Amino acid sequence: MFMKSLWGKLVYVGILVCILGLGGCGEDPQQLFETAKFEEQQGNRPHAIQLYEQIIQMDPNGDLAQTAKERIAALKK
């Protein structure tokens, strides 16, 4: 079971890397948001916060920026 779970995570990470590579390395706020959510799921809070902050800088008044602010607040609790 451990190997199956680990294998699934590795495949997921590989797919994510390929998608980001084809999509311009995360230039799109939506792609950054998806990556930040993934980082949260993996327990990498500092990187998730960094990505959320980048989203806010890219489009401070956008819907994703508001959600990113909420996620940052939750992660810093």
Q: pLDDT tens digits, residue range 31-61?
A: 999 999 999 999 999 999 999 999 999 999 9
In a 13 Å sphere around the CA of 10, the CA atoms on its Cβ side amount to 6
Q: For residue 27, what pLDDT is reported?
A: 75
- Segment 68-73 mean pLDDT: 97
Domain residue limits, the chain: 25-77
| Rg of the chain taking only CA atoms, in angstroms | 13
Is the Cα dihedral 50, 55, 60, 61 positive or negative? Answer: negative
Cβ of 27: how many Cβ atoms within 10 Å?
A: 10
Residue 24: what pLDDT?
46
The reported pTM is 0.67
pLDDT at 76 over 50: yes
What pLDDT is recorded for position 17?
55
